[in-house]
Amino acid sequence: AQSVAQPEDQVNVAEGNPLTVKCTYSVSGNPYLFWYVQYPNRGLQFLLKYITGDNLVKGSYGFEAEFNKSQTSFHLKKPSALVSDSALYFCAVRVSYGNNRLAFGKGNQVVVIP
């Protein structure tokens, strides 16, 4: 079955330091991968996606993610974290072709310390 895993529960990082949120995937065929962010009591906001092409994908708010086929990973990165980046981050993979259903990872709470 198509799935993603986010191994960490919480990521703590000092403001200004690089931020990395990890995601690994398990799919048959080519993966369609996504990152979303959720602020408290809000829906999810789309950050970026990998469908095909360059392995380094740039998204919203200065985030980027690197698709690594050999390691089956799609880690989210930001060179310099802001306090406002503190939120819940979800990695997702497309699990059906017809209607593009997504399967989400468990989520990672990111805490950026001032």
Partner 1 sequence: GAVVSQHPSWVICKSGTSVKIECRSLDFQATTMFWYRQFPKQSLMLMATSNEGSKATYEQGVEKDKFLINHASLTLSTLTVTSAHPEDSSFYICSARDGGTGGYEQYFGPGTRLTVT
Q: Give the binding site for partner 1 (CB under 8 A).
A: 32, 34, 36, 41-46, 49, 51, 90, 94, 99-107, 109
Nearer to partner 1, 46 or 61 (CB): 46
Q: Quick one: 28 or 41, whose CB is closer to partner 1?
A: 41
**Which residue, 97, 96, 33, 94, is CA-closest to 68?**
33
Cβ closest to partner 1, residue 70 vs residue 100: 100
Q: Report the distance separating Cα 7 and Cα 40, nearest Å.
A: 21
Could you tell me which residues are beta bridge partners of residue 10?
109
